[in-house]
Chain A
Amino acid sequence: MARIVVDPITRIEGHLRIEAVVENGKISEAYSSGTMIRGFEKILKGRDPRDAWAFTERACGVCTTVHALASVRTVEDALKISVPKNAELIRNLMFCAQYCQDHVVHFYHLHALDWVDVVSALSADPKETSRIARSISKWPKTSPGYFSDIQQRVKTFVESGQLGIFANGYWGHSAYKLPAEINLLAVAHYLEALEWQKEIVKIHAIFGGKNPHPNYLVGGVPCSINLEEVNAINSERLNHVLKLIKDAMAFVEQVYIPDLMAIAGYYKDWAAVGGGLENYLSYGDLPTQGYNQPDSFKFPRGAILNRNLNEVHDVNGKDSEEIKEYIAHSWYKYAGGDKTGLHPWDGETEFNHTGPKPPYDFLDIDGKYSWIKTPRWRGNPMEVGPLARLLVGYASGSDEVKDVIHEAIHALQVPVTALFSTLGRTAARGLETRLVARWMKGFYDDLLANIKNGDTRTFNDERWEPDTWPKTAEGVGLTEAPRGALAHWIRIKDKVIDNYQLVVPSTWNASPKDHNGKRSAYEESLVGTPVANEDAPIEILRTVHSFDPCIACAVHLYDPDGKNIHQITVR
């Protein structure tokens, strides 16, 4: 029996440490720990609630828009503000652009290297890569010369000894199953995706004034619509947005999805690994009739328990019995004691680090071992993210969701239960990107139609002035970040923030065990995962990366040990 440590496990923002116990080649127990601390709640207290979005948006350099959206919604909910139709549509467009960019970057730049062997790509036959590319897609860049150029460029990079972004791969590991030619195809698209992703986020700059960190506004969106005006959202800018949307649809349909299906075809055994929890939670998003009409959302709201797709439970962020955060294994203390659960409106952020002093070999898993709190829905651990969204959509009867799922499982010739897995989670992310890209076009058409009908309102100023506010107010802003259910809770008192709490997607997925010893999503999904080589636990990376871990916002902001943990350490 050995305990493997992978730290950090994220390729991007944040710190996540996994300790896994391996017995007879399989993981028998796992511990997920956020090793950085967050202090957002403290920084927001006493500030103007209308400014909160600008602070929370800085929680992460990756999904910069989602915290801003959750924040303006929570303030609007508290102050009973509804936003104009155009504002809803523009927020939806920014949401969809964020999803397309984030999911593509996740697939190619953060997750693909768990499945794609970059070094193997160097020995590929570019002619054969060209033939394969043409057989799975009508994407134009497929000549043998194109792939041979890419191969040469990667070769030069690798031979320079500067593996850089490729430094953390387990190249040559027996778990890599793709032919060299498909590895080369994926590497070429890794580079194309980089160039493409910088275009799609221009939608944020057009509607939000700048990127990264576009502007948001309580009561609407901070841009004016005037088709003839140079500085407004005019015909030229709208045409630019349309082009970006069409390019996004083409990239998703002709590059991302064919690659996903081609790669998945070689890893069908991963449809039986990493299923984890059997409960799924989605707050839902993309309103079409206002934020207070969840029935109108493109992504429905609801919870699924025990994988029962015949029943979708209602979810209410305001019900103090539904969502509670626990700290039995987290480095915090509650006034009411360690076994108490607190609804976020009553949330407390009192640090209580009891962990080992560095350098240490292992966490104290019997005590507290993470900076992440443990949220529960009606006492249940829940998985959040693309798979949860699609399953709630499926169980809610969305035909669009059902169609993309059925098409994919038919093409891969796997049963629908294959979704409950590491592979299913990764596939779900791609499938929902297809939907989101199509919906983005729909929201664009609706925006144009609304403007042509003479409605150019983008801001509701009725409750902008603090003297129109009640003495106290409380609100909740629910959204779906690309990584899953995200919510902000606010209490406003005497026109300033009295309490502000965030429960982010990775809090649900990456949290430690609860007061009853029940595992959260990462930990549960790792149990049963085979590990062929304890010195190169690529299987752990596959499953944890399938959740798209990014815990900068789950546990901002610093490494309390002050050490530079910038390598994967395997003991």
Chain B
Amino acid sequence: MSSNKAPRILVLGIGNVLMGDEGVGVHVVRLLEKQKLPPGVVCLDGGTGGFHLLDEIQRAGQIFIVDATVDGAPLGTLRRLRPSFSSDYPTTLCAHDIGLKDMLDSLYLLGTPPNVTLYAVSISLPQDMKMELSPELEEFVPGIAIEVLEEVESV
């Protein structure tokens, strides 16, 4: 269990690591965890998202989400978004997108809208069931991690 001190910044990796490239968000966050991070920054493997993450998200002043998207852009394309509502989120994989979006909408209804920056990494479908990223996407992971880290450091 994390300490009682509320984290200021949450870096949340979303994705299913059993599903190849779909788990890219989690792979990026795992890499970030090994870096020296500014105080108050918490990295979390959020799995496929959903209501379980509500507490962590509410306790964070600012949230950076790294997630996979299937938007037709070339593999490894990184888009930085500032979504307001769930409908602003790009198409993620069907296996988990409803859970995360439901939760973010709920935060509006609870009167605590989150401050979210979303990094969406383009992947393609279909994905085979495997634990590893494709070698092509793997190459982009360090660059994506640096991009996120630089923004987190500048907060």
Interface residues of A (CB under 8 A from B): 8, 10-15, 36, 38-40, 42-43, 55, 58-62, 64, 105, 109, 153-154, 157, 160, 162, 164-165, 191, 194-195, 197-199, 201-202, 205-206, 209-213, 552, 556-560, 562, 564-566
Contacts and interface: CB of A to CB of B under 8 A. Distances in A.
A15 B98 contact: no
Nearest to A11: B98
Contacts of A58: 16-18, 47-48
B105 interface: yes
A213 B94 contact: no
B5 to A, nearest CB: 16
Given A55-B18, A153-B109, A61 B50 contact: yes
Interface of B: 1, 16-19, 22, 45-55, 58, 70, 85-87, 91, 93-99, 101-102, 105-106, 108-111, 125-131
Given A43-B18, A43-B131, A61 B110 contact: no
B18 A556 contact: yes
Nearest to B85: A162
Nearest to A162: B85
Select the residue from B52, B87, B93 with max chain A CB neighbours within 10 A: B52
A40 B125 CA distance: 18
Interface centre among B16, B91, B94 (most CB of A within 10 A): B94
B109 A560 contact: no
Contacts of B128: 39
A38 B101 CA distance: 24
A205 B16 CA distance: 20
Contacts of A552: 48, 95
Contact of A14 (B22, B53, B95, B129): B95
Contacts of B95: 13-14, 36, 552, 556-558
B106 A61 contact: no
B129 A564 contact: no
Contacts of A60: 48
Contacts of B97: 566
Given A13-B96, A198-B51, A562-B126, A164 B16 contact: no
Given A191-B110, A556-B129, 12 more contacts: A58-B17, A58-B18, A58-B47, A61-B99, A153-B111, A165-B102, A198-B51, A202-B55, A212-B53, A213-B47, A557-B127, A558-B126
Given A13-B48, A61-B48, A42 B110 contact: no
Nearest to B84: A162
Given A58-B18, A58-B47, A164-B86, A157 B99 contact: no
B129 A42 contact: yes
A36 B94 contact: yes
A5 to B, nearest CB: 17
Contacts of A43: 18, 129-131
A417 to B, nearest CB: 35
Contacts, number: 143
Contacts of A8: 94
B47 to A, nearest CB: 5
Which residue, A60, A154, A202, has most C-beta atoms of chain B within 10 A? A60
Contacts of B106: 165, 191, 194
Max count, chain A CB within 10 A of own CB: residue among B97, B101, B129: B129
A13 B110 contact: no
A562 B124 CA distance: 9
Contacts of B126: 558-560, 562
Contacts of B22: 557
Given A165-B105, A201-B52, A566-B94, A557 B99 contact: no
A154 B108 CA distance: 9
A194 B110 contact: yes
B54 A194 contact: yes
Contacts of B94: 8, 15, 36, 558-559, 564-566
A433 to B, nearest CB: 16
Contacts of A40: 18, 129
A60 B70 CA distance: 20
A55 B130 CA distance: 11
Contacts of A157: 105, 108-109
A563 to B, nearest CB: 9
Contacts of B91: 564, 566
A136 to B, nearest CB: 23
Nearest to B54: A198
B1 A61 contact: no
Nearest to B49: A61
Residue from B18, B87, B93, B108 having most chain A Cβ neighbours under 10 A: B18
A558 B125 contact: yes
A8 B86 CA distance: 18
Contacts of A562: 70, 125-126
Nearest to A47: B131
A380 to B, nearest CB: 31
B109 to A, nearest CB: 6
Contacts of B130: 43
B1 A210 contact: yes
Contact of A61 (B47, B54, B86, B127): B47
- Closest 6 pairs between A and B when the two form their complex, measured CB to CB: A61-B48, A164-B105, A39-B129, A198-B55, A162-B85, A562-B125
Contacts of A564: 70, 91, 94
A202 B4 CA distance: 13
Nearest to A41: B129
Contacts of B48: 13, 58, 60-61, 552
B88 to A, nearest CB: 9
Given A11-B98, A15-B94, A557 B54 contact: no
